[in-house]
Amino acid sequence: MIHSLFLVNASGDIFLEKHWKSVVSRSVCDYFFEAQERATEPENVPPVISTPHHYLISVLRHRIYFVAVIQSEVPPLFVIEFLHRVVDTFQDYFGVCTEAAIKDNVVVVYELLEEMLDNGFPLATESNILKELIKPPTILRTMVNTITGSTNVGEQLPTGQLSVVPWRRTGVKYTNNEAYFDVVEEIDAIIDKSGSTITAEIQGVIDACVKLTGMPDLTLSFMNPRLLDDVSFHPCVRFKRWEAERILSFIPPDGNFRLLSYHVSSQNLVAIPVYVKHNITFREGSSQGRFDLTLGPKQTMGKAVEAVLVSSQLPRGVLNANLNPSQGTYTFDPVTKLLTWDVGKINPQKLPSLKGTMSLQAGASKPDENPTINIQLKIQQMAISGLKVNRLDMYGEKYKPFKGIKYMTKAGKFQVRT
């Protein structure tokens, strides 16, 4: 399976290598660098590269390429999914997954990689098991370790691997028992020039933060489970129960985890929370372009639209933009031609707008495409699909936990074509 792993940073240096079988020379990465040079954008490096003796499968996260070296047939998704799991674990351990963080914790990283793969085959990928084996470094622990010389490696053996619920640590204890669930929905949409919706979908997740003592058994039921068209579960969820009763029943992992991700079918009408009035024009022969953008709330069910951020990739011919926002701030990067406008909250009484001119390269012909506008936004306390959690019950433990459910709607890949 996975032979070796190389971590490559944005400037093309290998800053970490790990081999699970015999050592593969790092020169194998030259093929990767070649492909990297050929690709115009960093994300255009093909995830699978074939070399004479090996195959390189890579993922790009946090501006770091994780390049796995494979020698024989293996499902590419298997490797990709695993690499992402590695990144998630690093993020979980160090808070961020940057080159600096990895270098600072190189020993922990090595220990983690050692546990996660055995001979290239995934062994322990559940974060709960890993945390039992190797304690995540915290500032306090680092200080204590330097003074007392104690270690990050768990003293007790990884009994979790033997458990019937491998995702949960045993012997969990909390003084405050609490369980929080965040229902977060993202709207993916493409809006065309005239403002009509070309495609819109809702993708939702339920992220949980469960800190409960012992072995609690939770059930979560919805008011309107029929909304959920396609779901994928954390392995802890009992699938049969969902099939039969549309109830989520599970023994939760300890800490943060993604309980469920779902899809609300595109057949349902999706409420689009904002509209955009735009007038972006370039005139042939003139070195000026007009830029005029106004945002307004559309179907928000009375909730405020917050944290609105508009970004747009302007055509290459644009030299500079001289704009005037009615609220918020805007920036224009003349190198990448990226315009971002941090709008903030939309006030329905006074709609935010961004107006002004763009200066174009003299003599250059008019760009043939208007830029697309990407919008990010947040609406608190509402799930746009209308999904509602009915109740959350706990069995198996005696105490009364504190329960909380939060709803939020965000814009996912929300694009307006102009």
Partner 1 sequence: MSASSAFNDEKGGSSSVGEPEYGHDPASGGIFSSDYKRHDDLKEMLDSNKDALKLEAMKRIVAMIARGKNASDLFPAVVKNVACKNIEVKKLVYVYLVRYAEEQQDLALLSISTFQRGLKDPNQLIRASALRVLSSIRVTIIVPIMMLAIKEAASDMSPYVRKTAAHAIPKLYSLDPEQKDQLIEVIEKLLADKTTLVAGSVVMAFEEVCPERIDLIHKNYRKLCNLLIDVEEWGQVVIINMLTRYARTQFLNPNINESLLEEGGGGDKTFYCSDEDEDEDEEKEKQAEVSALAKRKPYVMDPDHRLLLRNTKPLLQSRNAAVVMAVAQLYFHLAPKAEVGVIAKALVRLLRSHSEVQFVVLQNVATMTIKRRGMFEPYLKSFYIRSTDPTQIKILKLEVLTNLANETNISTILREFQTYIKSMDKDFVAATIQAIGRCATNIGEVRDTCLNGLVQLLSNRDELVVAESVVVIKKLLQMQPEKHSDIIKHMAKLTDNIQVPMARASILWLIGEYCEHVPKIAPDVLRKMAKSFTNEEDIVKLQIINLAAKLYLTNSKQTKLLTQYVLNLAKYDQNYDIRDRARFIRQLIVPTEKSGALSKYAKKLFLALKPAPVLESPFKDRDHFQLGSLSHLLNAKAGGYQELPDWPESAPDPSVRNVEVPEWTKCSSREKRKEKKVEKPFYSDSEGESGPTESADSEPDTGSGSESVSVSVESGSPSDSEESEESSESDEDEEEEEKEKKKKKKEIKQMQASESEQSSEDDRKRDRKIKEQKSNSESESDEDSESESSQSESSDTESEVEVKKKKKVSEPKPPSKPLKKEKKEMSLLDLDDFEPTPSPQVTPVNTFLSNSLVTDLEGLSLSDSVLSPATIAPSSALKNYELLHRITGEGLSVEYCFSRQAFSPDANMVAVQMHFTNNATSDTKNLHIEDVKLQSGMRVKEFAEIELLPAGEATTAVMGVDFCDSTQAANFQLCTHTRKFFVSIQPPVGELMRPVFLTENEFKKEQSQLMGMNEISENLTLDAKCRNEHAIVQRVTTAANLSRVPCGSDKECSPAAPPPPPPHPHPVYRFAGKTVTSGSLVLATVATKDEGAAQLTVNCEKMVIGTMLVKDLLLALTQ
Rule CB under 8 A: which of 170-229 touch partner 1?
A: 170, 188, 190, 192, 198-199, 201, 203, 215, 217, 229
Minimum distance between the CB of residue 323 and partner 1, rounded to whole angstroms? 20
29 to each of 33, 57, 253, how far by Cα in Å? Answer: 6, 11, 38
| Residue 180 structure tokens | 């929080």
- Stretch of residues binding partner 1 (CB under 8 A), selected from 56-64, 173-181, 289-297, 344-352: 56-64
The correct pick among 8, 28, 59, 270 for binding partner 1 (CB under 8 A) is 59
HSE-up (13 A, CA, CB side) for residue 113 = 25
What length is written for the chain? 418
The correct pick among 10, 12, 21, 361 for binding partner 1 (CB under 8 A) is 21
Minimum distance between the CB of residue 302 and partner 1, rounded to whole angstroms? 29
192 to each of 196, 200, 395, how far by Cα in Å? Answer: 6, 11, 50
> What one-letter code names the amino acid at 219?
T
1 lies in the binding site for partner 1 (CB under 8 A): yes
Give the residue among 244, 257, 256, 280 at the shortest CA–CA distance from 367: 280
* Smaller CB separation from partner 1, 388 or 413: 413
Please report the beta strands in 95-246, taking only residues with DSSP state E, as ranges in sequence order: 117-118, 121-122, 178-191, 197-211, 217-222, 228-233
Minimum distance between the CB of residue 205 and partner 1, rounded to whole angstroms? 10
The correct pick among 31, 78, 174, 275 for binding partner 1 (CB under 8 A) is 78
| Residue 141 structure tokens | 């622990």
Place of tokens 């904002």: 274
β-pairing, 178-191 vs 402-416, is parallel
The correct pick among 11, 52, 139, 149 for binding partner 1 (CB under 8 A) is 149
232 lies in the binding site for partner 1 (CB under 8 A): yes
109 lies in the binding site for partner 1 (CB under 8 A): yes
Minimum distance between the CB of residue 180 and partner 1, rounded to whole angstroms? 20
The correct pick among 62, 81, 304, 386 for binding partner 1 (CB under 8 A) is 81
The correct pick among 9, 35, 62, 76 for binding partner 1 (CB under 8 A) is 76
| Residue 60 structure tokens | 């790009």
Direct distance between the N- and C-terminal alpha carbons of the chain, in angstroms, rounded to an integer? 47
Query: Are the CB atoms for 234 and 208 separated by under 8 Å?
Result: no
Minimum distance between the CB of residue 324 and partner 1, rounded to whole angstroms? 25
* Smaller CB separation from partner 1, 237 or 354: 237
Site track for partner 1 across 242-261, x = CB under 8 A:
-xx----x-x------x--x
Site track for partner 1 across 33-52, x = CB under 8 A:
-------xx-xx-xxx-x--
111 lies in the binding site for partner 1 (CB under 8 A): yes
Q: How far apart are CA 184 and CA 343, in angstroms?
A: 21
* Smaller CB separation from partner 1, 5 or 379: 5
- Residues 6 or more apart whose Cβ sits within 8 Å of residue 97: 61, 62, 64, 87, 90, 91
- Stretch of residues binding partner 1 (CB under 8 A), selected from 115-123, 272-280, 296-304, 341-349: 115-123
Site track for partner 1 across 277-316, x = CB under 8 A:
------------------------------------x-xx
144 lies in the binding site for partner 1 (CB under 8 A): no
18 lies in the binding site for partner 1 (CB under 8 A): yes
The correct pick among 246, 345, 388, 417 for binding partner 1 (CB under 8 A) is 417
Q: How far apart are CA 17 and CA 333, in angstroms?
A: 36
Structure letter (DSSP) for residue 135? P
The correct pick among 9, 26, 276, 386 for binding partner 1 (CB under 8 A) is 26
413 lies in the binding site for partner 1 (CB under 8 A): yes
243 to each of 4, 230, 249, 252, 389, how far by Cα in Å? Answer: 40, 12, 11, 19, 17
350: phi then psi, degrees, rounded to nearest 5: -125, 95
138 lies in the binding site for partner 1 (CB under 8 A): no
| Residue 376 structure tokens | 């990010």
